[in-house]
Amino acid sequence: MPAKKTKTVEKPKTPKTTRAATPTRTTREKKRVAGVVDRIEGDIVVVVIRDPDDPECQREVYVKRSQIKKIELQEGDRVTVIINRG
């Protein structure tokens, strides 16, 4: 008996769907802003910065002490803070 020939049917390829990128912690715009240590409250350092959107205003940023590289901090020290915008 001769061997039967089988046909292979290829499935049509479906196009991959692309989603719009949603802002996440890693895709948000980050900006370095200079500031001054206003006060230290336990494990939290309060840094006063100029608002990047409105340079005439100032904002307070609360940062954990463990996230700052400089170990010995005092009031009036200049620090750089990375803020997430968006």
Q: Tell me: the pLDDT tens digits for 3-23?
A: 677 777 777 776 666 666 565
Q: For the chain, percent helix, then strand, then coil, each to nearest 5?
A: 5, 40, 55
What are the pLDDT digits (tens) for 27-37?
A: 678 888 999 99
Residue 49 forms beta bridges with which residues? 35, 59
CB neighbours of residue 33 within 10 Å: 16
Residue 81 forms beta bridges with which residues? 33
Query: Chain-centre distance of CA 6, in angstroms?
Result: 56
Contact assessment for residue 73 and residue 65, using Cβ atoms and an 8 Å cutoff: yes
Work out the average pLDDT over 68-84: 86
